[in-house]
Amino acid sequence: MAALCHDLGHLPFSHAAETELLPSGWDHERFTTELICSDEMRLIWSRMKLDCVDVAKLAVGPKHYRDRRFTDWEAILSEIIVGDAFGVDRMDYLLRDSHHIGVAYGRFDHYRLIDTLCILPKIDKAADDELGSQELALGIEVGGLHSAEALLLARYFMFSQVYCHHVRRIYDIHLKDFLKKWLLNGMFTTAIEDLLQITDNEIMSELSKAVRDKEHPGHDPARRIARREHFRLLYQRTREDLEINREAGKAVFDAACMEFGDSEVRHDYYVQKEVGLNYPLLSRDNRICSSFTESETLEKVPLVAIDYVYISPECRKRAEKWRDKNLKRIITLKEGEEEC
């Protein structure tokens, strides 16, 4: 039941607007907990002789359910669902998304990986003894190591090639722009009953109205989404740029805003959270070690980081000429200097 309810609290269009359109302290995991523990759901759990708190804890995991201590078994069971390394939520979205998008990036041998899963003591690098604490975690037998590496590579390629593709990301930005104009006070409500009335369908319906109504506050972002008149990529940070200026994207964004106006420019910066695939590994002679000691792949797969600057299609040609002429000077400006 925890696995089935794991994503109950997602907002319309999933993660697209969560970070900017919710009050501080709210996320989809908190909504999931609120829904699982609601009066309506409590009636369902009572008929099944289940405790709503038990379900909620396993559904969101220790990172997002801080009110109660997790037993070893609760930690393991929640890790099966939401774990960074081997959680079925991660396995599912990679395989399902790659299938429906029609790409091979997200595929890996999940059957082999699942067959080699086992419960092992965590490896604590800070501890003096080899095993560190006796806290338990999901690990794998060494025979599943290549499947685990394939999982990590699948995640890297899906993020770099699909989830962080510049066109996909700009539609998130246009959607957020629309929701900020349409939602009351520019934020999603935290009242559960009211939030449940807002689904993808309601937003698509309102977006369709906004496209036809030039007086609608969300007309411009709605038009850009519906008619594919999205902002175009003006600048994408390179490694060379990063060596010159760690905030090269922001520098280009600020300069572009001064040149073309804030309404014509958007900035998108994202750094993937730590991969965190250091898990216990059971060798063929029954020794337990860190996965990092046996796999250079797990340690060296880079984090995905993007730094995009977009320009409206109306300004695109002028902006590209301006970029080609001024880019090097903009990213090499020293702190405190101003763009002329």
Residues 126, 130, 132, CA angle at the centre, nearest 5°? 50
Sheet holding 288-290, edge to edge: 117-121, 136-141, 280-282, 288-290
List pLDDT tens digits, range 302-324: 889 999 999 999 999 999 999 99
The mean-pLDDT minimum among 106-110, 276-280, 295-299 falls in 276-280
- Say which CATH class 2-158+282-300 falls into: mainly alpha
Strand order in the sheet with 305-311: 232-236, 305-311, 265-271
| % of the chain with per-residue pLDDT over 70 | 94
How many angstroms separate the CA atoms of 309 and 95, rounded?
A: 30
Q: Which of 53-57, 66-70, 195-199 has the lowest mean pLDDT?
A: 66-70
User: pLDDT tens across 190-236, in order?
Assistant: 999 999 999 999 999 999 999 999 999 999 999 999 999 999 999 99
Cα–Cα dist 320/308, whole Å: 14
The string of pLDDT tens digits covering residues 241-257 is: 999 999 999 999 999 99
Residue 145 has pLDDT above 50, yes or no: yes
Helix axes 145-158, 88-101, angle to 10 degrees: 60
Listed range (90-99, 109-118, 133-142, 317-326) with the worst mean pLDDT: 133-142
Encode the chain in three state secondary structure.
CHHHHCCCCCCCCHHHHCCCCCCCCCCHHHHHHHHHCCHHHHHHHHHCCCCHHHHHHHHHCCCCCCCCCCCHHHHHHHHHHHCCCCCHHHHHHHHHHHHHHCCCCCCCCHHHHHHCEEEEECCCCCCCCCCCCCCEEEEEEHHHHHHHHHHHHHHHHHHHHHHCCHHHHHHHHHHHHHHHHHCHHHCCCCCHHHHCCCCHHHHHHHHHHHHHCCCCCCHHHHHHHHCCCCCEEEEECCHHHHHHCCCHHHHHHHHHHHHHCHHHEEEEEEECCCCCCCCEEECCCCCEEEHHHHCHHHHHCCCCEEEEEEECHHHHHHHHHHHHHHHHHHHCCCCCCCCC
**CA-based max dimension of the chain:** 72
Q: What's the rounded mean pLDDT across residues 267-276?
A: 82
pLDDT at 338: 55
Does pLDDT of 172 surpass 90?
yes
Contact between residue 170 and residue 231 where contact means Cβ atoms under 8 Å apart? yes
Indicate where the chain has its CATH 1.10.3210.10 domain(s): 2-158+282-300
